[in-house]
Every structure is written in structure tokens, then in C-alpha cells.
Structure 1
Amino acid sequence: MTLSKPPLQAPVPNRRTATFLAGWNEGTFPLRGCIACGTVNEPEAEQCSACSATKFESIDASGMATLVSWTVPHHRNVGGDVEPTGILALAELDEGPWWWAALLADDADALEVGLRLRLRFDEVPGVGQRVVVLVKDAS
């Protein structure tokens, strides 16, 4: 199945997302490292997933990930035809947390679990906000 690039939508910053969305605009993916046990948690974590501590330090993700799963959402267009809207992927960052993002790939049928991916920061046209997308790692 050949896909076109889906349109990007900018997330709306709020109390929980403002810090990591600001990082995206600078080309970094800030994670939350637990000071008590060292576990790396997702950007919005308020409590460590391993030890329940609530004190964190900011850790920038390496930008590398592994494909865990994906889906191809579809929608019905104005003419009534059903068409794919892109690929939504679940990836495990090399630091441990899992993250959902658009996977920019031409062929969903060529994907396989374990595929190495890279985070990329694409600007949403006309908004001034970058979002994280996943692309196949070329190295």
C-alpha cells in the first residue's frame, strides 16, 4: 500500500506539555530521568514508572527508536471513497519510553517489527511549532 505524507497538526501546549514541546522547537526530545532510580520516563511523567518517585532531571533522547507496532488509519473522503491517512507508529525510544508518532514511509506493507527508526522534527506550516515524526533510519 503506497501512502502520501499526512498533513501535520500542531499540538496545543499546556501545563504538562509546554516543556517538551519547547524542546521539539529546538530539535530535542526531552525525557524525564528519575533522580532516585535512574529510570528514563516519558516526557509527561509526573511519577517514575519504576519507583514512583516524583523528582526528575531532563534527559535528551538520542533520537533513535525501534518500531513496536503500527496502524494505517483510514477516512472517508468527500466522494465517499475510503483512503489511508498515513501511518501511525508506536516506537520504543532507545532510552526506554514508548512514543506514538506519524511514521513517514511510502509503503506500510514493507514495515516490520524491530525496524530501526529515527526521530525527526518537522515544522507545521503556518504555525511555528515543530512536531516529532518517525522516519526509517538510513544508517
Structure 2
Amino acid sequence: MSGVPRPYPGDVAPDAADAEFWAACRDGRYLIMRCGACGRAVWPAGACPRHGAAAMAWADASGRGTLVTWTVVHQRYATSFDGAPPNVALVELDEGPLVHASVLGTDRPEIGMRLEAVFEEIGPDVTVPAFRPARDDPRASLAG
């Protein structure tokens, strides 16, 4: 946890559709949606591109993935971001979907770097997923 205050994602409260995801984040678990018909992992949560909304359900994910690309956000549209400018990364989860998140624990993320999920408490009952270099990635020792 960085201690850097941030706004709630989307500045809205969780609703019935995503409450299970946010509860899992508070418990340090990464969830994705899976299609009940084909098992495909889907993100953002919603409908399977092949089967529509057929039996979609939250499922535990590994919380591991690979850094596809990243950028640093220098223009701060939310005044609640303190400290160094945040990065925004595109991470391909081992289960397949691409997700957006921050990469913590390094100021030099590298494309192809293996990442693992961490969870930042940003407010009362609000914990968001982020990523850090995976301990088994050889570049993790270069982080910082």
C-alpha cells in the first residue's frame, strides 16, 4: 500500500454487478468473469464475446500477468493524487484478458515484465488492484 490517496475508480460506489469483485479486492483476491458456456475469461466484466451473457460468473484469477505497455500520467485531473505522477499500464493476465492498472514498486517498468497483483487500500472499504514486478521476473531486482 502506497498511502497515496486516490479517487475511487469511476468516482462511483460499487453496485450489485461488481460488489463481489470489490469485496475480493479487500480480501486480496483478483477476480475475473468467466463464461459458463466456454470458460473464457472476460474483462471488463460483462458478456462473453462468443456467447453473450450466458451464465457469466466471477472466478478467482491468478493475479499474474505480463506488462504490454505503460505510460505516465502527468496531467492530474483528480486533485486527490499526491506524490509522483502515476503510471497506467496495460497488463495481459495469464488468463487472457487485458486490464488497466498501475505498476507499483518500480520507476522503470519494462514491456514483457512479469507482474503480480497487489491491492491498495485507498479509503474505507475501498481497495483497488495494482501490479508490481513478479518476484520470479529477473528484472524485479532492478526495480526502484
Aligned partners of 2:60 and 2:49: how far apart in 1? 18
User: TM-score, normalized by length of structure 2?
Assistant: 0.75
Extract unaligned runs of 5+ from structure 2.
Answer: 77-82, 137-144
Tell me the secondary structure at the aligned position of residue 119 of structure 1. strand
- The answer for the alignment partner of 2:125 in structure 1 is 128
- Shift of the 63–8 alpha-carbon distance from structure 1 to 2, 3 Å rule, reads same
- Shift of the 5–88 alpha-carbon distance from structure 1 to 2, 3 Å rule, reads farther
- The answer for the alignment partner of 2:87 in structure 1 is 87
Give yes or no for contact 2:103–2:109 (8 Å, CA) kept in 1: no
Percent identity between matched residues is 37
Aligned partners of 2:7 and 2:129: how far apart in 1? 11
Aligned partners of 1:5 and 1:73: how far apart in 2? 18
Aligned partners of 1:24 and 1:84: how far apart in 2? 24
How many pairs were matched up?
A: 126
Q: CA deviation at 1:13?
A: 0.8
Give yes or no for contact 1:122–1:130 (8 Å, CA) kept in 2: yes
Tell me the secondary structure at the aligned position of residue 118 of structure 2. strand
Q: CA deviation at 1:31?
A: 1.3
- The answer for the alignment partner of 1:32 in structure 2 is 33
**In angstroms, what is the RMSD of aligned CA positions?**
2.3
Extract unaligned runs of 5+ from structure 1.
Answer: 77-82
Give yes or no for contact 2:20–2:58 (8 Å, CA) kept in 1: no
Equivalent residue letter for 2:24: G
Aligned partners of 1:7 and 1:127: how far apart in 2? 11
Give yes or no for contact 2:89–2:100 (8 Å, CA) kept in 1: yes
Tell me the secondary structure at the aligned position of residue 103 of structure 1. coil
